[in-house]
Amino acid sequence: MADVKTSNFIRNIIDEDLRAGRHAAGIHTRFPPEPNGYLHVGHAKSICLNFGVAEDYNGLCNLRFDDTNPTKEDVEYVDSIQEDIRWLGFSWGDRRFYASDYFEQMYEYAVTLIKKGLAYVDDLSADEIRAYRGTLTEAGVESPYRNRSVEENLDLFTRMRAGEFPDGARVLRAKIDMASPNLVMRDTVIYRIAHVPHHRTGDAWCIYPMYDFAHPISDAIEGITHSLCTLEFEEHRPFYDWLLEALGFPAGERPRQIEFARLNLSGAITSKRKLRQLVEEGHVRGWDDPRMPTISGMRRRGYPPAAVRAFCEEIGVAKSNSTVDNAMLEHSVRDELNCNAPRVMAVLRPLKLVITNYPAEGGTEYLLAENSPTHGGQRYVPFARELYIDREDFMEDAPKKFFRLKPGGEVRLKHAYIIKCEEVVKDDAGEIMELRCTYDPETRSGGTAAGRKVKGTIQWVAAEYALTAEVRLYESLLRDIPEGEEEPEHFIDALNPHSLEILTDAKIEPSVRLTAAGAHYQFLRVGYFVVDPDTTPDHIVFNRIVGLKDSWSKMK
């Protein structure tokens, strides 16, 4: 992570606060995910921002789970969120908290509001509350239960906690202003009844605080100095400030909420609800499917965490929403992998090639190949009479500018010799089964004709030594909508039916034989790949991370 602070409006606000003598104890942020699904690329931006700001100012960042809605929460999500944060390179130390840690305090704060005449129990249904709230141009209508006495409200709220009433029968609302131009301030609901066991508190509670109530109180209890939220919470900030003032938190010690633009990525689904639907309906293989924009999906796809952090740094922090081109994320991934992924040769769609003038007996030799232009190092690659090349590197009726292999044509085999195609062998159906070629033994490095030039160079793998691998080629989960075609009403109808292609007979050079899951490689001339966790000692599986073509660098 960069040591130099990148200036943005959030850091400018923090700098101004520090110059004014505020927060002498240090800067304190928090990342407050809901444990109701796996985190996606948008959360990666928030993680990098909250933990990054704390690091830049030698402060602290808490991990706090907003576990106030047990109907959708699960320990699986709690565990996955922690794994994602660690993978991105951040640590919360001993500061892992839960909103449920403060349920008793929150209840007491709600009682305080009732005693102050600033909260009341409402018997209206959810639909009625919505109708009474009014619109942006029309004031709301006060609930007929708004003016209950403090004593009655305290009694009803106590009985709500005791479980006397069914779900939806009553709520607790803040008593603010039903004519406020901000709809959030029109007596927002702060507690609801839900007879649902909680993953941490069990059956101890049957009423749960709403996010708007729990969030500012949790921030204040933890001593958060700057509460960084996405823009949709901007209209909630007046309630955030009203609540903390109403509860008597000293003005100089209250957290400051600051909103920033969420990350929208072209071609990516960043709605937890939609991502959950993809998983539950079986459109993908799980939350960590490499086509998913979840952090776990990006990890399994093979994105390096440093690349994701670099991407989040480059897009910066804005005050207005916009969409970032996915090509920019892929550019960061290529930048990182280009420096650190060793090069190997692989043939995804193998075509057999026999060098007829190569020794048939004892004809294996080992050629030196470069591992990485950045880190150097060399490896030996076996070369023999029978090889595999990629079918796309041969064309029988080749156009003039096709510089790979064709009948009568020559190419250089990477790290090896120049060969010439002499014969094409086909089966009865006319499908090409084998190429028969000759090689020039003097064109190897150090040979008398090593400097002879040909226009094409292709990769290859010795047939006898090749590893057979499964290769999964991933494309965007969403298809491109042709110009003139209407956007589908349901996002499921926009899914790309070709988002995954599985090749079961790819041939890889043997140097990757003992590779562990998560290892990155550049397959020469093909793209960047990672070893998938499905790999076993007898069956290696690669995921394509990203191709070699970098459209973002061209746009820049």
Digit-coded pLDDT (tens) for 360-390:
877 899 999 999 888 889 999 999 999 999 9
* Alpha-carbon gap, residue 472 to 300, rounded angstroms: 12
Catalytic annotation present for 485: no
Q: Which helix (H) or strand (E) holds 383?
A: strand 378-383
Active site residue 262: yes
Point out the catalytic residue in the list 30, 34, 45, 133: 34
b or e along 497-515 (b: 16 or more beta carbons within 10 Å of the residue's beta carbon)? eebbeeeeebbbbbbbeeb
In degrees to the nearest 10, what's the CA dihedral of 381, 382, 384, 389? Answer: -50
Q: Which of 86-95, 190-199, 288-297, 443-452 has the lowest mean pLDDT?
A: 443-452
The answer to whether 549 touches 333, Cβ cutoff 8 Å, is no
Per-residue model confidence (pLDDT) at position 2: 41
What is the rounded distance in angstroms from the CA atom of residue 457 to the CA atom of residue 369? Answer: 14
- pTM for the structure as a whole: 0.93
Residues 52-95 have pLDDT tens digits of: 999 999 999 999 999 999 999 999 999 999 999 999 999 999 99
Q: Nearest to residue 526, comparing CAs of 456, 468, 458, 464? A: 458
Which position among 11, 72, 96, 262 bears the catalytic label?
262
Which pLDDT belongs to residue 489? 87
Specify the pairing of strand 119-122 against strand 171-174: antiparallel
Average pLDDT over every residue of 439-447: 90
Whether residue 97 is predicted with pLDDT greater than 90 in this model: the reply is yes
Q: How far is CA 91 from the centre of its chain?
A: 18
The Cα 381–Cα 447 span in angstroms is 18
> 520, 340 in Cβ contact below 8 A?
yes
pLDDT at res. 144: 98
* Identified catalytic residue from 272, 299, 301, 385: 272
pLDDT at 1: 39
Dihedral, 357, 359, 364, 367 alpha carbons, nearest 10: -40
Q: How confident is the model at residue 5 (pLDDT cuts 50, 70, 90)?
A: low
pLDDT of 486 reads 83
Summarize pLDDT for 474-494 with one digit per residue, the tens. 999 999 888 888 888 899 999
Strand, coil or helix: what is 270?
A: coil
As a whole number of angstroms, the distance between CA 539 and CA 517 comes to: 12
Q: How far is CA 105 from CA 36, 73, 175, 198, in A?
A: 23, 21, 20, 17
| Average pLDDT of the chain, as a whole number | 95
34 annotated active-site: yes
